[in-house]
Amino acid sequence: MSAIEVVPFAPALGAVIRGVDLSQPLSDAEFATIRQAFHDHGVIFFRDQHLSPEQHLAFARRWAPIDINRFFKAVPGHPEIAEVRKEPEQRSNIGGGWHTDHSYDAAPAMGSLLLAREVPPAGGDTLFANMAAAFEALSPGLQRTLEGLRAVHSSRHVFGEKTGYAAREDTGDRIGNRAAATQDVVHPVVIRHPDTGRRTLYVNQAFTLHFEGWTKAESEPLLRMLYEHASRPEFSCRFDWQEGSMAFWDNRATWHYALNDYHGHRRVMHRITVQGVPLAA
Ligand code: SIN
């Protein structure tokens, strides 16, 4: 019998997994409990996991092969681990707006495992939002309209030359490989979640450009309405980090937002993204 406990974290989404030491190999039964919690809650949280990079990678590989982010600078000596860092003198953070990782890819990353290495004395929390709940709260009429739409997502305006992070003077050392920011991909606006089958809103403010076949100007009012709707507090939760905390979120089911409220302090996180599949309506 597994001693793992799954404790709901907030009404909207999230669960804390207790009674597990991720530095040790997990039995199949333990892993199945954790996987079910991931699908049930969209994001799972762990405390006091002081993992080496190799242990972090080993846990990530239980889920899927690693999907290396081509824009983030890697942790020195560990090309598969992205460093999400902000120094005391820097003003910009990484991920400081609602988004879901890798939606600019044809097969977006299934999930991201973020491990806190160094946290500010206060602040630096991360918000998460439940995109299935947000979709289900829309009127049947709007749901039907959205189900007939697809949207274009891109990395160019976020990671490319002279835009996004490059346009902010103090993120230059943390984001690179700008010439690789060339992708535009199309995904359904409402996906059928590949594991749970739940219908989920799949647009996000960071990477979605416009609805397919619509201009940006035509798309903007409806996208803005969806972003305001989905970021309402009742669909979200807020996680406070301690050194050794880890979150594993489902990029197909959730958005996240790294709060940038800790100027003058250092925050260092290690992020591993794991491979997903092409998304279908
Ligand atoms: C990210 O957007 O992947 C980073 C989130 C965080 O640093 O809290």
Q: DSSP letters along 161-224, please?
A: TTSHHHHSTT-TTTB--GGG---EEEEESEEE-TTT--EEE---TTTEEEETTS-HHHHHHHHH
Q: Are 188 and 281 in contact (CB under 8 A)?
A: yes
In terms of Cβ atoms closer than 10 Å to its own Cβ (0-12, 13-18, 19+), residue 224 is exposed
Assigned token pair, 244: 């050794």
Q: Quick check: 160 pLDDT over 80?
A: no
- pTM for the full predicted model: 0.95
Kindly give the number of the ligand 1 atom that is closest to the alpha carbon of 99. 2
Comparison of pLDDT for 142 and 1, the residue scoring more: 142
Query: What residues pair up with 168 in beta bridges, in sequence order?
Result: none
Q: Write the residue with the smallest CA distance to atom 8 of ligand 1.
A: 258
Residue 99 is among the residues annotated as catalytic for this protein: yes
Task: Spot the catalytic one: 85, 99, 178, 199.
Answer: 99
**CA nearest 59: which of 21, 22, 109, 101?**
22
Q: Quick check: 162 pLDDT over 70?
A: no
Work out the average pLDDT over 9-37. Answer: 97
Q: Write the residue with the smallest CA distance to atom 4 of ligand 1.
A: 95
Q: Quick check: 167 pLDDT over 70?
A: no
Residue 168 is among the residues annotated as catalytic for this protein: no
In terms of phi and psi (left: phi > 0; alpha: psi -120 to 50; beta: otherwise), the region of 164 is left
Work out the average pLDDT over 119-136. Answer: 98
| 15, amino acid identity | A
- When the pLDDT of each residue in the chain is averaged and rounded to a whole number, the result is 94
Share of the chain above pLDDT 70, in %: 96
Kindly give the number of the ligand 1 atom that is closest to the alpha carbon of 95. 2
Predicted pLDDT at 77:
96
Q: Quick check: 169 pLDDT over 70?
A: no
Kindly give the number of the ligand 1 atom that is closest to the alpha carbon of 271. 3
Query: What residues pair up with 11 in beta bridges, in sequence order?
Result: none
Predicted pLDDT at 157:
82
Residue 259 Cα, ligand 1 centroid: separation in angstroms?
Answer: 9
Residue 207 Cα, ligand 1 centroid: separation in angstroms?
Answer: 15
Give CA–CA dist 164/169, Å, rounded: 10
Predicted pLDDT at 190:
98
Maximum distance among all Cα pairs of the chain, rounded to whole angstroms: 56
Predicted pLDDT at 2:
55
Give CA–CA dist 153/202, Å, rounded: 10
Residue 206 Cα, ligand 1 centroid: separation in angstroms?
Answer: 13
What stretch of H or E contains 254? strand 254-258
Lowest-confidence pick of 175-179, 211-215, 245-249, 266-270 = 175-179
Predicted pLDDT at 192:
98
Predicted pLDDT at 1:
45
- CA separation, residue 219 to residues 90, 152, 176, 211, 226 (Å): 34, 11, 30, 6, 11
Predicted pLDDT at 166:
67
**CA nearest 183: which of 107, 95, 281?**
107
Q: Is 38 helix (H, G, I), strand (E, B) or coil?
A: helix
Residue 11 Cα, ligand 1 centroid: separation in angstroms?
Answer: 22
Task: Spot the catalytic one: 67, 101, 105, 250.
Answer: 101
Residue 271 is among the residues annotated as catalytic for this protein: yes
Query: What residues pair up with 85 in beta bridges, in sequence order?
Result: 268
Q: Write the residue with the smallest CA distance to atom 5 of ligand 1.
A: 258
142-156: pLDDT as tens digits: 999 999 999 999 987
Q: Quick check: 218 pLDDT over 50?
A: yes
Q: Write the residue with the smallest CA distance to atom 7 of ligand 1.
A: 258
Total residue length of the chain: 281
Residue 263 is among the residues annotated as catalytic for this protein: no
Assigned token pair, 78: 């560990």
Q: Which residues contact 265 (CB under 8 A, 6 or more apart)?
A: 88, 120, 121, 123, 124
63-121: pLDDT as tens digits: 999 999 888 889 999 999 999 999 999 999 999 999 999 999 999 999 999 999 999 99
Residue 218 Cα, ligand 1 centroid: separation in angstroms?
Answer: 30
Predicted pLDDT at 177:
77
